[in-house]
Structure 1
Amino acid sequence: MNLQELTQLLGQEQDITTKLKKLRGRNKISEETEKLTALYDIEKHDIYDTVKRPDRIVMKEDDEGNMVYDRKELVNRIALPFQKLIVKRAVSFVFGNPVILQCETETDQEEQVLEAVKRILHENKSNGFDRRIARELFKTTQVAECWFPVAKSESHEDYGFPTQFKIRVTSFNTSDGNKLYPLFDETGDMIAFSREFTIEDDEDKKKTYFETYTAEEKRTWIQDGNVWTEQPAVPNTIGKIPIVYASQEQVEWEDVQSKIDRLEKLLSNFAETNDYHASPKIFVEGNITGWAKKGEQGAIIQGEPGTKAYYLSWDQAPESVRLEIETLLRFIFSFTQTPDISFDSVKGLREISGEALKMLFLDAHLKVQDKREIFDDYLQRRISILKAFVGTMNLALKPVASKLLIEPEIQPFIINDQKAMIERLTMANGNKAIVSQKTSIALSGLVDDVDAELKQIQAEEKERAANDTFETAF
């Protein structure tokens, strides 16, 4: 569908159900993806499915020698939250550090636009919001955010100019029951975005809402029972669709889900074997003539001459099980480019250089570069929307805002080796100081009044020099 066809569709007086069907397009999440998304909840793993892994039925012999039902024993079910771990690590490496806005301003107006955009992001707590957006994308394959103005009772100058509006953002998550329908033209540009959701009122009555955003307006349809009604359109003042949308082909753990299933089954079966061998069992050769009473200390078992009794022990715990567990763990971390930074994995590490740390996290950083294919465009569109809002709130800044280039840059998480960095910079500077004494005091973070501390250090150095001169004279 192109823009002209979309305009005709929205302007036509036709059956609403048919119209909404066209607005939904073909963006339907497959049933397989929905099943995988559900596995983010550990309680929904197959290992807890009593059909796929039934509990144990124990039979007993009745008085007539027939085997009848006695009881049900719960089997071991060990589920592992690898899905959450994989997503959590991916989010931390992509947005572990705040996104930097690269911009070269040449005029006061350009600086004003940049500061307004930064203030809007700050007020909406963009650092945490970015992490939530990434988490939703990685576990459900799609996410969207919507920016909108909120009118205030009084004017303010928080953005550097007087306005009665605050710019706010909300996320549209499929995990919250939203259905997302972006609509693209033949060139790949988004010409409309729709979302569908259901709300239950205080009387337990459900209503379904269908919202469509375009560059000109916002349309809303409400379904009450089986009847759809259209609400009055709301104009879009910024001339851009105020939606940022992102999607990826599969959930983060899809390639290793079979290995996670196998590992959970392996550990659960191994736990069953451990339980079986945990209770002591006595093997007797010969005939027993007397058993010790229950609770009797220094118990003695009596038997005929030549009788032997000894505990059975599991002397051949399968090495193959341990090997398979280790192999599965290695594959899960490796195939998802997830670094294993658990305590057991890093406790043996000694002090290592910054370059060694970069190599340690190389695979995770390569994954971040792959994710930038999604988030570079995502963040750039967000900035474009915010610039449009700034230009709408302050018309004098509109031409500047539309032309100003602000480029968001993702900073992958890494543990900085400042000692190595300072040594490299000092060497490059001819082994001379790279920061002033005042700056080094400020960077230490140990004092509140940097100027007073610098004066105290200078006074102590002056006193020490005077004492050295006095001692030299005598």
Structure 2
Amino acid sequence: MGFFNVIKNEVKAAVGYQQNFTALLEAKDISRALNYMQDRSGFAEKALLEYKVENHEVMKRQDKAVYDKKGNFLRWQKRWKIPIPYQSFINEIALVFLYGRPVKWTQRSKGTDYAFEQYIKLLEHLRFNANVREAKRVAGAEGTSAMLFHVFRNKEGKPDVLLNVLSKQNGDDIYLIKDQYKRMTAFAWGYYLNESGNRSIYHVDIYKDDTVYYCKRVSVGWEVKAIPNVIGKIPVILFEQELEHEGTQPMIHRVESMESTDADVNDRFANPAMVATAEVLNSLPKAEEEAKLFILKNGGKIEYLTWDQASQSKANEYERLDKHILSKSFTPNIDFDNMKSLGNLSAKAIRKVMLLAVIKAEKRKETHDNYMNRTGNLLRAILGNVLDYQHKAEYEALQLGHEFQEPFGEDVSDILADISKQYNDGAMSRQTYVEMSYLIKDAKTEIERLKQEDLEAIAKQQELNKIDVFGGGE
């Protein structure tokens, strides 16, 4: 059957028959369907050449051949290859300032407490905080990553979901189609699986709002299994951005080249060397002697050959390059000495010191706000359509909010003082006060305790009112 599909598709292509993307999928012409999609693999592979230190340009330096005066080969002289992982450092700093602390989710609707509680439990079940950091790290290194939500039945036969972060460095190919409004209309995940005979077979899972196509490349054409998409949405959160070290690669290469060349020079000249006149050569002490005596005669002379270290201009270049690499990638220079000098600065003061990273994080929030909104909508659909269908209406009514938290926390003591003043002035309810207090982990439970204490206090007061001033009952 696959052979006839291939022949039919080739004939249609030969006569210029134009099929749209869906028609190609229905015809099981997956190869041409993938040609309709944007393939992000090429850009990711190129980005990884810059990100992984083993692929840096400086690693291509070859050892130098040494010849004698007659041109005969003597030996190979080692030439150092010193890559510097600026890219990963820049990427990790950017990650910490955006997702260093978990995204804070809030409930904005009323009467949806159960749905919100299940939503938070689902985030914990999916290890969302760890996975979103991994997805952001990959996007900063490769330019594109994706969080794919896969629904299935677990061992107990119950519906379940897992979260998989897709990246080129893990062997994943990402394909997608967007319309003119930049909305994703189709997504595909390509990967290899080892099957019978230890053969590596290429698979592609293609997701649309209404259908999921599981495709496997065979000797002739593709095997395709189409099933309804029970979620009702493309179960993917796509992360797209420019590389975190964008624009700094030439400067990084220059620093690596200088470091490697300096290492070669150090090997050749940094060790002490002795210069002696011919009259001294015959009276040199033996190497194994602990106390060495040099006997000089007939005007003999001994001195050490010293090396004038790197010029100031080279030192200045190192400093300028390091400064430009970090500043132009909006990365603060965070090391032990700099952090030690911060002392007991407040969170606001640290924010000012780390302003470059804050600026970059605020820029990233322009897109990641949308990613978190889509995450909320997608997980509500998974809960309502797959995991907990009987409460679908409540999940649809659930309105979510999210907030990116500061990586170094906030000046909570000042905040608590402010809200305490507002509460004491009557400008804030007790429930809001409890919800905003950083000392209270479970605001709902705390409010119930306070209500119970109020009821007990009222009951106690009523009991006291039954007793008159003479100690007798009514």
TM range, smaller chain: 0.7 to 0.9
CA distance in 1, matches of 2:182, 2:67: 64
* Per-residue deviation, 1:391: 1.7
Give the aligned partner of residue 129 of structure 1.
Answer: 131
CA distance in 1, matches of 2:319, 2:403: 37
For the pair 1:181 / 2:175, whether they are aligned, the reply is yes
Give the aligned partner of residue 460 of structure 1.
Answer: none
Report if aligned partners of 1:196, 1:209 keep a CA contact under 8 Å in 2. Answer: yes
- Residue-by-residue CA offset, 1:100-127 (whole Å, 9 max, x unaligned): 11322311xx222211111111111111
CA distance in 2, matches of 1:112, 1:289: 92
Q: What secondary structure is seen at the aligned counterpart in 1 of 2:165?
A: strand
* Per-residue deviation, 1:412: 3.2
Report the AA paired with residue 331 of structure 2: T
Give the aligned partner of residue 205 of structure 2.
Answer: 211
Give the aligned partner of residue 98 of structure 1.
Answer: 102
Matched ranges for 1:7-406 at <5 A: 7-11=22-26, 13=27, 15-22=29-36, 25-30=37-42, 34-49=45-60, 53-61=61-69, 66-107=70-111, 110-152=112-154, 154=156, 164-201=158-195, 203-225=197-219, 227-248=220-241, 250-284=242-276, 287-288=279-280, 290-294=282-286, 295-393=288-386, 394-406=388-400
CA distance in 2, matches of 1:56, 1:364: 42
Runs of 5+ consecutive residues of structure 2 not aligned to the other structure: 1-18, 442-448, 450-474
Q: What secondary structure is seen at the aligned counterpart in 2 of 1:72?
A: strand
419 and 399 in structure 1: CA distance in 2 versus 1, 3 angstrom threshold: closer
* Per-residue deviation, 1:347: 2.5
CA distance in 2, matches of 1:347, 1:75: 37
Q: What secondary structure is seen at the aligned counterpart in 2 of 1:76?
A: coil
* Per-residue deviation, 1:440: 10
CA distance in 1, matches of 2:285, 2:86: 49
Report the AA paired with residue 351 of structure 2: K
Report if aligned partners of 2:384, 2:395 keep a CA contact under 8 Å in 1. Answer: yes
CA distance in 1, matches of 2:150, 2:280: 85
Report the AA paired with residue 57 of structure 1: A
CA distance in 1, matches of 2:164, 2:195: 21
Report if aligned partners of 1:290, 1:303 keep a CA contact under 8 Å in 2. Answer: no
Superposition CA RMSD, Å: 3.1
Q: What secondary structure is seen at the aligned counterpart in 2 of 1:272?
A: helix
TM-score (norm 1): 0.79
Report the AA paired with residue 58 of structure 1: V
- Identity fraction in percent: 25
CA distance in 2, matches of 1:211, 1:289: 78
Give the aligned partner of residue 469 of structure 2.
Answer: none
318 and 153 in structure 1: CA distance in 2 versus 1, 3 angstrom threshold: closer
- Residue-by-residue CA offset, 1:169-226 (whole Å, 9 max, x unaligned): 212222211111111122222111112222233633121112211111111221123x
Report if aligned partners of 1:286, 1:303 keep a CA contact under 8 Å in 2. Answer: no
Q: What secondary structure is seen at the aligned counterpart in 1 of 2:203?
A: strand
Report if aligned partners of 1:391, 1:397 keep a CA contact under 8 Å in 2. Answer: yes
Report the AA paired with residue 37 of structure 1: L
313 and 143 in structure 1: CA distance in 2 versus 1, 3 angstrom threshold: same
* Per-residue deviation, 1:99: 0.6
208 and 416 in structure 1: CA distance in 2 versus 1, 3 angstrom threshold: same
CA distance in 2, matches of 1:232, 1:29: 24
* Per-residue deviation, 1:426: 7.0
CA distance in 1, matches of 2:72, 2:381: 76
Runs of 5+ consecutive residues of structure 1 not aligned to the other structure: 156-163, 444-450, 452-474
CA distance in 2, matches of 1:180, 1:192: 11
Report if aligned partners of 2:285, 2:294 keep a CA contact under 8 Å in 1. Answer: no
CA distance in 1, matches of 2:373, 2:175: 21
Q: What secondary structure is seen at the aligned counterpart in 1 of 2:341?
A: coil
Matched ranges for 1:377-456 at <5 A: 377-393=370-386, 394-418=388-412, 421=415
Report if aligned partners of 2:95, 2:137 keep a CA contact under 8 Å in 1. Answer: yes
TM-score (norm 2): 0.79
99 and 200 in structure 1: CA distance in 2 versus 1, 3 angstrom threshold: same
Q: What secondary structure is seen at the aligned counterpart in 2 of 1:407?
A: strand
CA distance in 2, matches of 1:278, 1:266: 16
Report if aligned partners of 2:53, 2:84 keep a CA contact under 8 Å in 1. Answer: yes
- Residue-by-residue CA offset, 1:121-143 (whole Å, 9 max, x unaligned): 11111111111111111111111
Q: What secondary structure is seen at the aligned counterpart in 2 of 1:232?
A: strand
Aligned residues: 415
* Per-residue deviation, 1:231: 2.5
CA distance in 1, matches of 2:381, 2:85: 42
- Residue-by-residue CA offset, 1:66-96 (whole Å, 9 max, x unaligned): 2311111212222212122111111111111
Report if aligned partners of 1:237, 1:392 keep a CA contact under 8 Å in 2. Answer: yes
CA distance in 2, matches of 1:218, 1:412: 39
